[in-house]
Structure 1
Amino acid sequence: MASRWRVLAMALRHRLLRMIGRPVDPFADTPSGLSLSPSARHFADYDRVALGLRFQALKPDDPQLWQRQARAKLAELSGYRREASVPYSVGEQRFALPDGLLRRRIYLRAREGVDIPVHLVQPENASGPLPVMLCLQGTNSGAHISWGEARYPADLEKGNGDYAIALQAAQRGYMAVAIEQSCFGERGERQIRPRSAAPCVDATMHALLLGRSLIGERCSDVSAVIDWLQAEATGLQIDPARIHAMGHSAGGSVALFAAALDERIAAVLACGCIGYIRDTIGRRRDDQGQNVIPGILNWLEMADILGLVAPRPLASVAGAADPIWPGEGARAVFAEAGEIYARLGATGRLQLQIEPGGHRFRPAKSWESLRIALDKDF
């Protein structure tokens, strides 16, 4: 058995080498030219995946029939489902916000084990019927950022208002509906002890055990909220035909996939979240699994997901230097999805802007992109 001092000396040497940028490889004597990393198997298979429903390969005569088939397959793979019953409220509170805005916090019971906090933000004296914007935050501390509230020190870094998307939507005439997504904010994991450090990984793994995905569950929640909005449309003074969705990063992914699965979403603004699956989440570190859908590459790529939104307006803004969702990747996906939009006579409803910089939400450009897609002023 190695002496305690030898173990300590080896650990110290490894730590010092890491500090100066020279990490130790205990297997430096491995012959070159071998495919030993787990990713090598996956990268090799990416070139041979079936993509059995890819629009670009099939060139279907009937794009709408393709949409029905692809949408059904996406729902199956992701574990997305619509509940038979409409959610009901199990509690409501009201809070005043600056600039004459009102926030209503409502807890919706969607099904056993699923209560969804939603926050309605609008002017106190608003009269309808109002269009609705479903506001979906990305990977951060919760929906409270949507109306500019800080509950954690890190929230103060977002205090410039760029991520206060519910306020932005309300100021543009929407009833903003900020949905607390599974794993964030009030819906963070509290039952498991101990929990994983990354907030979404436990839910991702447990969903997989049931044949579902986290993004499929989140999209199911979005549809449940839409069920409730439509059922309460008269009392809420909203226009159920004008329900839009928006988000950035992980929030943009949910907005996009929810619109692909639920045709009641009339328009979508999905930023900082678009690129080919094989080039993005398939080739980088992923300690969350938020967007992983088992088996999706046997059937669909990201351009097909965009194509499931057609002919409805779809807008996005990407950062040219975004290391997570690079702008050039978004451009390539939009170019491919453009064929589907063209086949459905909706070319002008697909809008992408690429801006300098990295992974962040750009309010002015994002709303401008949506305005162009909708062909209307805010």
Structure 2
Amino acid sequence: MTDVFDFDTYIMAYYDKHPPLMHFAGESRDEWFAWQQRLRAKLLELMEPFPEQVPLDARVVEEREQFGVHYEKVVYTTAEDVQVPAWLLIPENVATPAPGIICLHGHGGPYGKDPVAHVDNGEEEIARAIKNYNYDYGLQLAKRGFVTLCPDARGFGERREGFRRFGNRDGCNVNGIMTFLFGMNLMALNTWDDMRGLGYLASRPEVDADRLGCIGLSLGGTRSMYLSAVDERVKASSVVCYLTTFKQYALTQGNFCGSQFVPGVLKYAEISDLCGLIAPRPLLIESGIQDGGFPIEAAREAYAHLETVYAAAQVSESLWLDEFDGGHQFSGAKAFDFFDAYL
């Protein structure tokens, strides 16, 4: 017997010996439907407890006009002691009610919603993030006639107050561990906030509540996946530069943090399974061939499995792929046609 001292060897061996218990392996529509009901129930169980629902008490705190779009900075309440600031973008000269899309930011620095809505306030770093990641998809979609909502996640943007008090520690990890102490998790809390944001978007008179979509890059793609998996008000969604395998990005690369996962989820499902909870609703996956954080080989492996889910659900045509020659960024090559088609 060879002695094993290092943790990497242990965790990889554990992964190989304990495949996800609810990994999809069916072929028929009945098998898919039964699997999805079981896995969604398990995911919700893992994410609990969610906060109690309270009135949104939404208010507009700022308005501006730019890029042919009306901007409203709004604040709404998602839970006791929790308010969320967001940019609402309403395109000019669009027939209302129009479809609405919640546009979720990734890590991309500390700026949260601002680069997604193309609000740089003269800050060079935000302008650079917009250019480097093609990050302003909230504005790009608004210019195409969608009403978009760009909210801050917990610990980002205006919700970052006190974030740096941990010195060189990763604030996402510290905040995540804090929630674990109470039996909560940060991903579930952000998903709850995003669900309430979707509700706010649906409540706006400019928005058709039956035509709601979701999109996000990186951590935003993670958020888009979880929101769409558990909230069927989302009629079409896009996951940008996130589809991969837990084995690759979490166990091999360690390319994650305390804001990005639900404890216990890999016991039951891989990322492709979680994306499969979106079926039969339309889903667009974007993957950059040069994305070092989410290597294309793992993305292709996950997508191939996701295809089997959509095939079993008999909606293969509703699964779109944009595999583009770029890095960790929003492509947009198919996104506008995708949302035009389904919303």
Please point out which of 87, 90, 113 is paired with 1:119: 87
Q: Deviations over 1:317-370 (max 9, x none)?
A: 1111211112222222121122221222210111112222322222334435x3
| 2: CA distance, partners of 1:82 / 1:211 | 12
Which digits, 9 at most, give the CA deviation of each residue in 1:112-153, with x for residues without a partner? Answer: 121111211022443311100111111122211122222544
Q: Partner of 2:252 in structure 1?
A: 283
Is 1:56 the equivalent of 2:25? yes
Q: CA deviation at 1:313?
A: 0.6
**Residue 107 of structure 1: CA displacement?**
0.5
Report the equivalent of 1:217.
189
Q: CA 1:301/1:58 → structure 2, altered by over 3 Å: closer, same or farther?
A: farther
Against the structure 1 CA distance between its residues 57 and 279, is the aligned structure 2 distance closer, same or farther, given a 3 Å change threshold? farther
Query: Are 2:163 and 2:171, in contact at CA under 8 Å, matched by a contact in 1?
Result: no
Residues 60, 72 of structure 2: 8 Å contact kept: no
Shift in CA distance, 80/328, structure 1 to aligned 2, threshold 3 Å: farther
Question: Whose radius of gyration is greater, 1 or 2?
Answer: 1
Give SS of 2:20's match. Answer: coil
Counterpart of 1:142 in structure 2 is: 112
With structure 1 as the length reference, what TM-score do the two structures score?
0.82
Q: Which structure 2 segments of 5+ residues have no match?
A: none
Tell me how far apart the structure 2 counterparts of residues 39 and 78 of structure 1 sit (CA, whole Å).
27
How far apart, in 2, do the equivalents of 1:292 and 1:223 lie? Answer: 17
Q: Give the 5 Å matches for 1:293-312.
A: 293-312=262-281
Counterpart contact for 1:129–1:237, Cα < 8 Å = yes
Cα 1:41–1:179, aligned 2, differ >3 Å: closer, same or farther? same
Question: Paired residue for 2:152, among 175, 180, 186?
Answer: 180
Range moving further from structure 2, 261-270 or 75-84:
75-84
- The SS at the match of 1:251 is helix
Cα distance change of structure 1 residues 375 and 95 upon mapping to structure 2, 3 Å threshold? closer
Contact 1:60/1:66 (CA < 8 Å) preserved in 2? no
| Whole-angstrom distance in 2 between the partners of 1:288 and 1:51 | 21
Instruction: Give the C-alpha shift of residue 69 in structure 1.
Output: 1.7
C-alpha contact 1:88 1:110 (8 A) present in aligned 2:
no
Name the CA shift for 1:56/1:133 in 2 (closer, same or farther; >3 Å): same
Whole-Å separation in 2 of the counterparts to 1:352 and 1:375 = 15
Which residue is equivalent to 1:107? 75
- Equivalent positions of 1:154-193 (< 5 A) are 154-160=125-131, 162-190=134-162, 193=165
Q: 1:268 to 1:89 in 2, by over 3 A?
A: same
Shift of 1:44: 1.1
Structure 1 stretch displaced more, 195-204 or 338-347: 195-204
Identity of aligned residues (%): 26
Q: Which 4+ stretches in 1 moved above 6 angstroms? A: 57-60
Change (3 A) 1:61 1:289: same
Trace 1:322-337 onto structure 2 (pairs within 5 A).
Answer: 322-337=291-306
Residue 360 in 1 paired to residue 314 in 2? no
For residues 295 and 307 of structure 2, the distance between their equivalents in structure 1, rounded to whole angstroms, comes to 18
Distance in 2 between residues matched to 1:189 and 1:158, nearest whole Å: 21
Which of these residues, 34, 37, 44, is aligned with residue 6 of structure 2? Answer: 37
**Could you tell me how far 1:276 is from its partner in structure 2?**
1.1
Partner of 1:15: none
Displacement after TM superposition at 1:270 (Å): 0.8
> What TM-score results when the alignment is normalised by the length of structure 2?
0.90
8 Å Cα contact 2:112/2:153 also seen in 1: yes
Report the Cα distance in structure 2 between the residues aligned to 1:40 and 1:251, rounded to whole angstroms.
Answer: 31
Distance 1:80 1:50, change over 3 A: farther
Tell whether the 8 Å contact from 1:132 to 1:239 is kept in structure 2 after alignment: yes
SS in 2 for 1:280: helix
Distance 1:150 1:228 in 2: 24
* TM-aligned CA distance change 1:192 to 1:153, over 3 Å: closer
What is the rounded CA distance, in whole Å, between the counterparts of 1:170 and 1:126 in structure 2? 10
Compare 197-206 and 38-47 and name the one that shifted more.
197-206
Offset at residue 196 of structure 1 (A): 4.8
**SS at 1:312's partner residue?**
coil
Distance 2:148 2:231 in 1: 19
Once residues 170 and 125 of structure 2 are traced to their aligned partners in structure 1, the CA distance between those partners, rounded to angstroms, is 16
Any gaps of 5 or more consecutive residues in structure 1? Answer: 1-32
